[in-house]
Structure 1
Amino acid sequence: MQKKNTEHIEMVLSCVKKEQITSRAEIAKKLSLSKPTVSKIVNQLIDEDWVFETGTGEASTSGGRKPVKLKFNPRKAFVIGVDIGGTKVAVGILDLVGNVCAYSEFPTQQYIANGFFEQMKYKIDAMIKENRIEKSKILGMGVGIPGITNVESGVVQDAPALGWKSFPVKEKLKEFFDIPIYIDNDVNINVLGEQWKGAGKGKSNLIYIAIGTGIGSGIMINGELYRGSNYSAGEMGYMVTDRQYANKYYPVYEGYGFLESVASGSSIGNSLTRKLGYKITADEAFSLYEQGNPAVKDVIEEAVDHLSIGIANYISLLDPEVVIVGGGVSGSFSLFEQTIKDAISHYTPQKCKVVKTTFGKEAGVIGAVALFLKEYGGIFKI
């Protein structure tokens, strides 16, 4: 009997959360529960601060009384999101519907060798204090890692940007945070975030491609992450888009694959630095390209050609509803969007939308929280 009552409570709360604004009568109808049962559960949820009433219940024009509306309280609990990158670590605190309540960053390389997790805890504790969030309301933490990560054991098998190999990151985090923690590859968390709150909202089959220092991707098939048998699915940076060139290419960084060595932001920057004789970043290269500078034209167009073929291959294999482009190079998406569309039209059996991410710097923490909510489950599952 107790189990059935718990199930009814979860059903009612999930209904309020999903509908955003609803009434007792509407819940009873949707869930096929009696009005007295729903009313009793709703009163309990109001007492526990999960739900609050909105509206006055005043008489309508027809003479009857308008039902008092119910709304889910997203600040009943909070989740910490952490996005560990090779350059920076982004940390945030979100409520249960994905509103970013606090956000902060710190440089990765300054702390990676010493005091990394201490700095993370310092930043998070400061945000909790500044925003007057009760620690008892912190539900848990989601973490994104730039490398191949065993989500079951919590061990990072290989993260070149961090210098981590067989690194027990979850065990280290548990030394500083006594809360449930879920970890995954950074592009996997991004595809979850995009489906929850971004350009992939409502989609079940999508690909998120991050183009920055390297190139990685997250794959969602039928609403579920596809991680592969060794947690390395989506390592798009290892795609080969030119067999002859692949026989003599040099990795842009140790451990990096072919595609990211010819089409990532770092490869563009490095190629032009060698060609021009002075340091140039990918952002600067695309800016010069937009201005019509002939010195950068060949390098960027070759990189974009490789990237476009890689995306076309992905679409032919997986037939997604949408491909979402993120990462640092996505800021220049408008400059190479047409080349990608042309490649899709030329090489793939079906058309597919390729769009730029709608997220800014907070993308990773949103994705990390999406990971936590999906894995934690229950009424919180997204």
Structure 2
Amino acid sequence: MQKKNAKLIKQINKRLVLKCIRDDEPISRADIAKKIRISRPTVSTLVNQLIEDEWVNEVGQGDSTASGGRKPINLMFNPKKYYIIGVDIGGTNVSVGMTDLNGEILSYDEFPTPQNTTDELFEKLQSTVEQMIKKKSIPQFKIFGMGVGVPGITNVQDGFVYDAPALGWQNYPVKKELEKYFDFPFYIDNDVNVGVLGEHWKGKGKDKKNIIYIAIGTGIGSGIIINNELYRGTNYSAGEMGHMVTDRLHAKDFQPTYSGYGFLESIAGGSAIGQMMTERINKKVHAKEVFNMYQEGSGDAKEVVNFAIENLALGIANYISLLNPEIIILGGGVSGAYPIIKNQINDILKRYTPQSCELAQTAFGKEAGVVGAAALFLKEHDSILNI
């Protein structure tokens, strides 16, 4: 029993040392010992093991001590120890990328989502990943694993997608299917959960404990981090913001934009905005065009956009009142119109919320899903990087 406990303590201490190096690099052995309150000899032994295992590099000397002693050798985390594949499966496109352990994207590709069969989708995904690895000359053993975001309610334990309207999936065993094509570990989750993990790791939510990420595209979904932990809900459906009801009168006659879509996304999502404008002017238009028409002074566009954004803002106000987050980050296609809509949203938030909350547009572009998927893998995979 003593041997078992000693081994566990050693593993915990090694993880703490590595985390300290990642958080405060470049840093010396002596400073690590001070920060995490472990003896210098123990820290030195653990650091030597981390160097031998290529988790850590020595990078030169730091400042000498006040008494003029020998300059300490600094240490830095080695983000090239392994690489992660990040995948974002959307209803229109599939994004694929490779990152290092710091989330730096080393390779990126995308392809249209095959509409015929899921076999075609996974075969294309497999060939894209293989070509990416080959092109970068990465040995297979250096692929740590893969994170995958999908646009639907996902049981992350069993790997089932309960419902993904954009892909036509219901109770789909995506984990079982992926196992046919990939032999390294992978983890799957809802794309907005993946989004909020990416924001927390490398985006606007970095160094914040309570974050809401709202993706406004064809539909509307959100990811929630509370006290640094992703909140998925009892049945993995937390954050289904598109099902919020923000207008009692319109809710009586509400018709979903697509089968399975909720009230809010059917009046404030990208497709809904385009559809409402199309009905008014009897000409097919998309959300981006509606916002352009709004800026040009179109009365119809103003009515459509104002109605959609008012309901979206009420949904955001409800989130702030219930969860009191530090920041709400807007992503997805419609968030590109943030400069146009932010004043209207902030006015409504001031009116209806008990506390102020920072509202921001995501800083990520098309690579958002890839970074988030890499963050998902690091969060779920049991390794020395986890504390």
Query: Shorter-chain-normalised TM-score: which range?
Result: over 0.9
Counterparts in 2 of 1:276 and 1:109: CA distance versus 1, 3 Å: farther
Q: Is the 8 A contact 2:114 2:120 kept in 1?
A: no
Listed as ranges, the matches of 1:202-213 within 5 Å are: 202-213=207-218
The Cα of 1:200 is off from its aligned counterpart by 0.8
Corresponding position of 1:115: 120
Of residues 39-48 and 89-98 in structure 1, the stretch that sits farther from structure 2 once superposed is 39-48
Corresponding position of 2:312: 307
| Amino acid in the other structure paired with 2:132 | M
Distance 1:77 1:100 in 2: 13
The Cα of 1:226 is off from its aligned counterpart by 1.5
Q: Is the 8 A contact 1:111 1:119 kept in 2?
A: no
Partner of residue 22 from structure 1, selected from 5, 23, 27: 27
Corresponding position of 1:255: 260
Corresponding position of 2:107: 102
Distance 2:118 2:376 in 1: 27
Distance 2:63 2:118 in 1: 63
Listed as ranges, the matches of 1:193-272 within 5 Å are: 193-272=198-277
Distance 1:159 1:259 in 2: 17
Distance 1:91 1:317 in 2: 35
Distance 2:223 2:45 in 1: 43
What RMSD over aligned residues (CA atoms) do the two structures have, in Å? 1.8
Distance 2:38 2:311 in 1: 57
Distance 2:59 2:325 in 1: 40
Q: Is the 8 A contact 1:14 1:379 kept in 2?
A: no
The Cα of 1:34 is off from its aligned counterpart by 3.0
Question: Unpaired runs of 5+ in structure 1?
Answer: none
Partner of residue 334 from structure 1, selected from 339, 344, 358: 339
| Amino acid in the other structure paired with 1:194 | E
Q: Residue by residue, what CA displacement relative to the aligned partner does 1:120-161 show, whole Å, maximum 9, x if unpaired?
A: 011111111111111101111111110111111100001000
Q: Residue by residue, what CA displacement relative to the aligned partner does 1:155-188 show, whole Å, maximum 9, x if unpaired?
A: 0001000000110001111111112211111101
Q: TM-score, normalised by structure 1?
A: 0.95
Distance 1:77 1:113 in 2: 29
The Cα of 1:57 is off from its aligned counterpart by 6.2
Corresponding position of 1:152: 157
Counterparts in 2 of 1:11 and 1:291: CA distance versus 1, 3 Å: same
Secondary structure, counterpart of 2:134 in structure 1: helix
Corresponding position of 2:300: 295
Q: TM-score, normalised by structure 2?
A: 0.94
Corresponding position of 1:356: 361
Distance 2:263 2:62 in 1: 64
Distance 1:324 1:84 in 2: 21
Corresponding position of 1:9: 14
Distance 2:116 2:37 in 1: 55
Question: Unpaired runs of 5+ in structure 2?
Answer: 1-5
Aligned-residue sequence identity (percent) comes to 55
Listed as ranges, the matches of 1:161-200 within 5 Å are: 161-200=166-205
Distance 2:331 2:31 in 1: 40
